[in-house]
Structure 1
Amino acid sequence: MDKPTRVLIYEDNADLRASLSQLLGGSPGLELAGALSNCTQAEADIARLQPDVVLMDIDMPGITGIEGLRRIKATTPGVNVVMLTVFDENDRVFDAICAGADGYLLKKTPPAKLLEAIGEVRAGGAPMTPAIARQVLKLFPRVPPRAVPDESPANLSAREQEILGLLVEGYSYKMIAADRGISLDTVRSHIKKIYEKLHVRSMTEAVSKALRQGLT
């Protein structure tokens, strides 16, 4: 039997923290590792609670979620961190992605979508709500590959370019499968090849590189 995915919540709003705790605690395949109001002891929290996924509020007193994200990624890069925010139009989206966020969701994301996002990030994806994905498109200037001399062309196939373009637009794996009429396993196979060709390890890295090199 597969081990449940352990999820740690950082959220300073007590009501939302309780709501998220109840949702995660009652969901099959998930286990609530902890629910904390701040990330001032992020490194120690991770070592003690051993989460697989962290849901990180971006605005907290003391230490911001972005600083907490940086600390977690510096010590335990294998832990997936999904940022939660009420905002979708500010440069903190850019800061969080540059700091290594594995996903970026609005707090108003429906519960079913939030649970799907946790599964997606564990499968190697980087869930983003469409509004966030649109902001990402604006944050990274499109430049031709020749303007980035230290990076060689990716030599993506036409299908791989299509799928990368959908990732950039914020599509989930399931949405890509439905849009292109292919199976989830086929989507995962294409994305694995995209990662290999782009020499990246996450969807945020792939999106960043695609936008910088004008690959989509």
Structure 2
Amino acid sequence: MKTVSIYEDNDQLRSLLELLINSANEFSVVGSYSNGQKIVEQIRHDWPNIVLMDIDMPGRNGIECVQQVKEINVQIRVLMHTVFADDDRLFACLSNGADGYLLKKDTGTHLLTALHDVAEGGGPMSPEIARRVLQTFQKPQNPKRQDYGITEREQELLQLLTLGYTYRMIAIQCNISVETVRRHLKNIYQKLHVQCGTEAVAKALRENLMH
């Protein structure tokens, strides 16, 4: 069973999220908080596998909280849960290490699936956010951008990673082994000078690295 901590300042919504998550045999809520003021102590106490994180909270916002969580343990998965769909907040969350981005309007139909996907190593996104990511990839190539030496194959894997595919899903899509996927992604991280998938995705989006 995967454990989940919730950060949401709307008391009614937070209670509903607890009920929904606890109703699934796969998950158990171990922490539920209205703000991130004491997130370091709370995460160290609860040690959740997944954090469901609102962005607009009093005191310390969710974008700052993501960074705090990842500094405690980069293995803790963080799923953003917000009403905001703008590029600035999306890229800020990804840059700080967020593993997924779910809009609150999609909670009823996508939350449990998104929690499952993020627990399995994927990067789930609401359809609207995924479309925004695709639009970013489809922007005209910037001739002045830095050339990191990313191959066409590596670009393909990076795009699938950005769209929320797990390593296993990428392997099936590309007809290669999971170990080969890991090797390709490790090469990508080294070329982009990043430490993990979310940093690679954020950099690819920010610098429009996709052809």
User: TM-score scaled to structure 2, two decimals?
Assistant: 0.79
Which residue in 2 is equivalent to 1:154? Answer: 150
Distance across 2 between alignment mates of 1:108 and 1:18 = 16
The yes-or-no answer on 1:207 pairing with 2:196 is no
Distance across 2 between alignment mates of 1:62 and 1:194 = 40
Which residue in 1 is equivalent to 2:182? Answer: 192
- Is the Cα–Cα contact under 8 Å of residues 82 and 105 in structure 1 kept in the other structure? yes
- Is the Cα–Cα contact under 8 Å of residues 70 and 99 in structure 1 kept in the other structure? yes
Give the 5 Å matches for 1:41-56: 41-56=38-53
Deviations 1:177-215 (A, max 9, x none): 7xx9x4799685564243122025544333334443634
- Is the Cα–Cα contact under 8 Å of residues 3 and 27 in structure 2 kept in the other structure? yes
Give the 5 Å matches for 1:67-146: 67-136=64-133, 142-143=141-142
Unaligned runs of 5+ in 1: none
Identity %: 37
Which segment is superposed worse, 21-30 or 205-214? 205-214
- Is the Cα–Cα contact under 8 Å of residues 125 and 203 in structure 1 kept in the other structure? no
User: TM-score scaled to structure 1, two decimals?
Assistant: 0.78
Deviations 1:7-38 (A, max 9, x none): 00000111111111011112112111111111
Q: Helix, strand or coil: the match of 1:72?
A: helix
Q: Tell me the C-alpha RMSD between the 2 structures.
A: 3.1
Unaligned runs of 5+ in 2: none
Which segment is superposed worse, 6-15 or 22-31? 22-31
Q: Which residue identity is paired with 1:10?
A: Y
Deviations 1:128-171 (A, max 9, x none): 11212333456687546x8425x3x13353xx544443444x35
Distance across 2 between alignment mates of 1:31 and 1:17 = 14
- Is the Cα–Cα contact under 8 Å of residues 102 and 202 in structure 1 kept in the other structure? no
Distance 1:27 1:64, change over 3 A: same
- Is the Cα–Cα contact under 8 Å of residues 173 and 188 in structure 1 kept in the other structure? no
The yes-or-no answer on 1:29 pairing with 2:14 is no
